[in-house]
């Protein structure tokens, strides 16, 4: 059997699998991930309607949707969400850019790796929640301390995966660049960055997720706006429905940002023919 026969057979098998999945479920493949959440929401709503769960502890999805709509109408939703997006974006850009540059730097040279990487790996094991008191003492509870905390959490995933991607580039390609007499800039832009790109994009996905996780923590220490502050304020006044609105917002925005990075990943890595399942 030739390679072309195997390739054509694999493509036909993939199409047949997709058709079978759509035939059995009656839904397009991209909707399969929504089946379980819809079932959970339906059961949750039914349990609330039948009085099986406490409305104050676990409000019905319809009540949470009503609270979300009210926040949108009075403008609080736009204010909190825009404030959180600026903080998360600023922290991610600061920490991600630093992690990317240091990851390339330590990955390229043995001296840089032996000098800097052990200290960075040691700092990576320190729980970020443990440094919050120091951040408050050093920088107060203003915007700078919040962005710096988010940047610190975003730094390590991108640094680690960038360093790994640079160090695992194929050694044979380096020999080819020597024969072609590439300059250091050409070596960086035409070999190192493309070879490390899958790892870099994975690091970006993890850093984006870390920035949203730490945003919730940062906004609960002396903030006056933001989704985390909205959750904290609602907890004080026992507004459980608004607490759920904030949690769902974190989940949705985190998922959207992750999907955006995955879209960039698919477009940038069209040449990558690794097995995808």
pTM over 0.85: no
Domain membership flag for residue 12: no
Domain membership flag for residue 193: yes
> Along the chain (277 residues), what's the average pLDDT of each consecutive run of 10 residues?
47 50 59 80 86 81 89 87 88 91 85 84 82 81 84 90 83 68 72 82 88 83 80 84 88 84 80 52
Domain membership flag for residue 55: no
Q: What is the pLDDT of residue 175?
A: 66
CA nearest neighbour of 201 among 106, 100, 123: 100
Q: What is the pLDDT of residue 24?
A: 47
Q: What is the pLDDT of residue 94?
A: 93
Q: Which CATH number covers residue 229? A: 1.10.3720.10
d(CA 186, CA 183): 5
Q: Which residue is listed with tokens 């660049």?
A: 177
Domain membership flag for residue 84: yes
Q: What is the pLDDT of residue 10?
A: 47
Domain that holds residue 210: 62-268
d(CA 193, CA 195): 5
Domain membership flag for residue 203: yes
Q: What is the pLDDT of residue 69?
A: 92
Domain membership flag for residue 273: no
Q: Which residue is listed with tokens 């933001």?
A: 226
d(CA 244, CA 259): 22
Structural domain count, the chain:
1
């Amino acid at each position: 059997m030739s390679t072309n026969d195997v390739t054509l057979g694999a493509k036909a098998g993939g199409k047949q699998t997709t058709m079978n999945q759509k035939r059995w479920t009656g839904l397009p493949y991209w909707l399969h991930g929504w089946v379980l959440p819809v079932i959970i929401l339906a059961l949750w709503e039914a349990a609330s309607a039948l009085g099986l769960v406490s409305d104050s502890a676990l409000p019905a999805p319809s009540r949470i949707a009503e609270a979300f709509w009210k926040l949108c109408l009075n403008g609080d939703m736009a204010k909190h969400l825009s404030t959180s997006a600026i903080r998360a974006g600023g922290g991610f850009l600061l920490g991600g850019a630093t992690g990317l540059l240091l990851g390339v730097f330590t990955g390229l040279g043995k001296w840089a790796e032996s000098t800097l990487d052990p200290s960075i790996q040691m700092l990576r094991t320190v729980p970020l929640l443990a440094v919050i008191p120091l951040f408050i003492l050093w920088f107060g509870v203003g915007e700078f301390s919040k962005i710096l905390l988010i940047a610190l959490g975003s730094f390590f995933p991108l640094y680690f995966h960038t360093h790994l991607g640079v160090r695992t580039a194929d050694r044979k390609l380096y020999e080819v660049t020597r024969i072609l007499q590439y300059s250091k800039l050409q070596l960086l832009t035409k070999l190192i960055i493309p070879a490390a790109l899958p790892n870099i994009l994975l690091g970006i996905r993890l850093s984006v997720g870390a920035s949203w996780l730490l945003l919730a923590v940062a906004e609960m220490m002396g903030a006056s706006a933001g989704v985390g502050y909205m959750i904290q304020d609602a907890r004080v006044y026992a507004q459980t429905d608004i607490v759920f609105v904030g949690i769902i917002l974190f989940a949705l925005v985190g998922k959207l940002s992750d999907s955006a990075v995955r879209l960039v990943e698919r477009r940038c890595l069209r040449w990558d023919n690794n097995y995808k399942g």
